Structure 1
Amino acid sequence: MKEKTNDLRINGMGTASGGRYDRVDINGVSGVNGDLECQDFNANGKVKINGAIRSGTVYVEGLSTVKGNVQAQRINIHGKMEIEGDVTFQEIRVDGKTRVSGRASGEEADIRGNFHVEGDCDAEVFSLQGGFTVGGLLNAGKIEIHIHDGCQAKEIGGEHIRVRKIAHGPKFWGALLPFGHYLTTDSVEGDDIHLEYTKARVVRGNNVTIGPGCEIDLVEYRGQYRLDQGAKVGESRQL
C-alpha cells in the first residue's frame, strides 16, 4: 500500500520543515529547513531551501537557493537558481541564470541565458543560447552553442559539436554583438565539429570546420577539414 503524503504550501513570509510531501508550493519570501522529497516542487518569489531537493518536477520563478543537491526528472527555471551541490536531471530548461557549485548530469539541457557549473557537465544533448562556464569537462552527444555572452569550459567532448555566434536573424546582427564574446577552452574533441568564434589550444575530430573568428593553436583531423579565411590556425595535420 502506497504511503499517503501531504502537501506543503507557504504563502507570503514563513518557514517550514523539510520532509516527504506530495506537492510543495512556495510563494513569497519563504524558506524550508531540511531536505525535501516530493512529486512536484514549485517556487515563486525568493525561496531558500536549507537542504537537498529530490522531486519528480522542479519549477522555479524568481530566485531560489538550494543548500544541497537537486535531483529531478524535469527542471524548469524562469529567473535565477543557485544550487550549492550537484544537479541531476532528465531534462533541464533554463530561461535566466543558474549556478551549480558541483556537477551537472542528465539527458537534455536547454539553456536560454547563463549557465555556470563549477564541476563537469554531462548530457546527451546540450543546447545553449547565451553564455556559460563549465569548470571541468563539458561532455554531450550533441552540443549546440549559440554565443550571446562569454562561454568557457576547461574541455569539450562530444559526437556532434556546433558553435555559432548567433542563433538566427539577419547577418548584420553579428556586428551588434560585443567583440569579446567567444567560446574559450583548452580542447575540443568530437566526430563532427563546426566552430565559430572559438579560442582553443587543440581541436581534434573526424570532420572539422574552423569558421570565422576562431583562434586555434592545433587542429588534428581524420576526414574533411575546412578553414575559413577569417580564422587563425597555428598548425593543422591529418591523422
Structure 2
Amino acid sequence: MEQKQQPRNDLNISGIGRMGGGVFKDVKIDGMGKIGGDIDCLAFTSNGTVGVEGSLQAESMNINGTAKVEGTATLDKMVIGGMSTFDDNVYCRSVVINGRVTFGESLKSDKVEVGGILKAKGDVQCETFSVKGHFTIGGLLNADHVDIKLNLPCSAQEIGGEHIVVRKWKSPRFWEQIQHGFSIRLKAHNIEGNHIDLEYAEVDTVRGNDVSIGPGCTIRLVEYKNTIHLDPESKVGSCVRI
C-alpha cells in the first residue's frame, strides 16, 4: 500500500511569533519569527527577521531581511539580498549573494555568484565561483572556474581550480570614491591550478601549468610547467619551472 505524503500547508508570520518545525509548502516571514525545529519546505522567504533553531531543507530561499539557520541547510537555490548567517554546513546548487552572508562551516554548490559580501570560516567548493564583491574564506576555495573582479579586498587561505582569473574591476566613478584609501588586493597563501591569470594579488606560492602574473602582484614563489608571463610592475621573489 502506498503511503500518503504529508500535506504541505503554508506558514506565514507577519507579526511576532514562534512556531515549531515541520513540513510546509511556502514559509514567509514579514515580521519577527522564531522556528524551533527542522523545516522542510518548497520556498523559504524572509522580508523580516527569522531564526531557525534546526535544519532547513527547501527548493528556494530568498532573504531580503535577516535570517539565521543553526542547523545544516540543503537548498536548490539561494538568493540573499539582506543578511544571513548559517552556523552549520550549507549544500546549495545555486547561490546568489547581493547582501551579506556568513557561513560558520563550509559551503558546497554548483554555482556561486557574489555581488555583496561572503564570509566562510571553512571551505567553499563549487564548479563556478564569480565575484564582483568581497569574500573572506578561512579554508580552501576550490572551483573549476574562478572569476574574481576586484573592487574590494578579498582573501582565502588557499585557492585551487582549473581556470583562475583575477582582475581589478574597472569600476564606475562613484565606486572609485568609495574605493579610495582601500588596498584592493586578493590575498592568499597558495593558488594552484592549470591556467592562472592574476592581477593585484598577494600570494606566497603560485603553482600552475600556464601562469600569467599581471600588474600589482606580490608573489614569493611562482612554479610553472608550460608557460609563464611576468609583468614588470609586479614583484616576484623567484620563478621556477617544474
- Give the TM-score normalised by the residue count of structure 1: 0.94
1:126-170 CA distance string (max 9 Å, x none): 011111111111000000111222211111000000111215558
Residue number in structure 2 paired with 1:15: 18
1:238 aligns with 2:241: yes
Contact 1:148 1:177 in 2 (8 A): no
Q: Which amino acid aligns with 2:36?
A: N
Unaligned runs of 5+ in 2: none
Residue number in structure 2 paired with 1:30: 33
| 3-state SS of paired residue (1:21) | strand
Change (3 A) 1:83 1:9: same
Q: List 4+ stretches of structure 1 deviating above 6 A.
A: none
Query: Taking every aligned residue pair, what percent have the same amino acid on both sides?
Result: 34
Residue number in structure 2 paired with 1:190: 193
Which of 198, 221, 225 is the equivalent residue of 1:222? 225
| 3-state SS of paired residue (1:34) | coil
Q: Which amino acid aligns with 2:227?
A: Q
Contact 1:129 1:167 in 2 (8 A): no
Residue number in structure 2 paired with 1:66: 69
Change (3 A) 1:167 1:28: farther
Let me know the Cα RMSD of the aligned residues: 1.8
Number of residue pairs the alignment of both structures matches: 238
Q: Which amino acid aligns with 1:160?
A: H
Which of 42, 46, 53 is the equivalent residue of 1:43? 46
Which of 85, 90, 102 is the equivalent residue of 1:82? 85
Contact 2:6 2:23 in 1 (8 A): no
CA distance in 2, matches of 1:183, 1:174: 20
CA distance in 2, matches of 1:230, 1:217: 15
1:55 aligns with 2:58: yes
Q: Which amino acid aligns with 1:131?
A: H
1:39-74 CA distance string (max 9 Å, x none): 111111111111111111111111111112111000
Unaligned runs of 5+ in 1: none
Residue number in structure 1 paired with 2:184: 181
1:181, CA displacement in angstroms? Answer: 2.3
Contact 2:153 2:182 in 1 (8 A): no
Contact 2:13 2:32 in 1 (8 A): no
Change (3 A) 1:22 1:224: same
**Mapping of residues 62-211 of structure 1, within 5 Å:** 62-166=65-169, 173=176, 177-211=180-214
| 3-state SS of paired residue (2:132) | strand
1:164-186 CA distance string (max 9 Å, x none): 1215558x959954442211111
CA distance in 2, matches of 1:92, 1:165: 23
Which has more strand, going by share of residues? Answer: 1
Change (3 A) 1:135 1:205: same
Q: Which amino acid aligns with 1:65?
A: K
- Give the TM-score normalised by the residue count of structure 2: 0.93
CA distance in 1, matches of 2:45, 2:179: 37
| 3-state SS of paired residue (2:226) | coil
Change (3 A) 1:30 1:175: closer
CA distance in 2, matches of 1:177, 1:112: 19
